[in-house]
Amino acid sequence: MSRLGPVITLAAGVVLAAGLGVASINAAPAADNTAANTAAEAPSTEETTPARQNATGSPATGNTAEPSAAPSPTEPKKIAKADYGGRVKGNGGLIAISIRNGKAIGYFCDGRTEAWFKGKESAGELSLAGFGSAKVTAALAGGKARGTVALGGKTWSFVAPTVVKPSGLYRATAIVRGAKLRAGWIVLKNPQGGFTQVGAAVLGEEQLDIPRLDGERPTTPLTVDDTTVYPKDVDGFIEEMS
C-alpha cells in the first residue's frame, strides 16, 4: 500500500477543540394587539372610533374588521444534508465540507499542511472556523461550494462540487501507547476512473506516514504505526466534532 509523505500540521491542535460553538438564532413572535368596543363586537387590530347613536340613543351596529394575523418570524433555511469536495486553487490541496442540519465541518490537506474546521451553514452561506485565525467561508448554490480557505497567513480560493460516497471526508482515531492517534482523509472519485486522495496522521505530537484508503471501500480497516484503525465516514463523527 502506498504511503503519502510526512505532513506538517499547523499546531498541536489538529483536531479542533469541541468548545467551539455554533451560534443560534432565536426569534420572538411580535405581540398581537387587539381592541374591542363592546362585548357584542369582535376584536379588531385596527384603531376604532366610538359607535354612532341612533334616534333612540342605542348604539348602531356595524361591521368590524377581522383581526389580522401577526407575521410569523422564520429562521433562515438550513441545508439538511450535503457533501462537497474539490481542489484548492493555487495550492494543489483538497478540501472537503459536510453539512448536516445546518452543522458543518471541513477538512483541508495538501500533503504537508492540514486543518479541521467547524461551524454552521445558514441560507446558503457557510462559515467555518479553524485553529487560530484559520477559516473557511463559502456560498452554496448550483450544486457547488464556492469560497476561500485562509490558513497560515495565506488565502486560497476553491470551487467544490457536491459529491456522493465513496467520495468525501473520512477520519479515524485510536489510543496508541497512551497517546491519541488522529488521522483524516479526503477521497474524491475521478470522472475518468480511480480516486484522488490526500490525508494526514498525528500520534500525540508526532507526524506519521499515512496509508491510502481503499477508494471503493474507504471504511476498510487499515494499519497506521502498527495499529489497526477503523476509518469512519462523516456521518460517523460529525456530531462529536460539531
Considering its fold, how many domains does the chain have in total? 1
Q: Which domain holds residue 205?
A: 3-9+77-241
In a domain? residue 192: yes
In a domain? residue 46: no
In a domain? residue 232: yes
Decide if pLDDT at 35 tops 90. Answer: no
Mean predicted confidence (pLDDT) in 137-159: 97
**182-194 pLDDT, tens digit each:** 999 999 999 999 9
> Is the alpha carbon torsion for 83, 86, 90, 93 positive or negative?
positive
Beta strands in 101-194 (DSSP E): 103-109, 114-122, 125-129, 135-141, 144-151, 154-161, 168-176, 179-189
Q: 241 phi and psi, to 5 degrees? A: -100, -25
Q: Which three cell numbers stand for residue 5?
A: 509523505
> Is the alpha carbon torsion for 197, 202, 206, 211 positive or negative?
negative
Highest mean pLDDT among 3-7, 51-55, 139-143: 139-143
Give which of 135, 149, 107 is closest to 14, Cα–Cα.
107
In a domain? residue 105: yes
Q: Which three cell numbers stand for residue 178?
A: 497512551
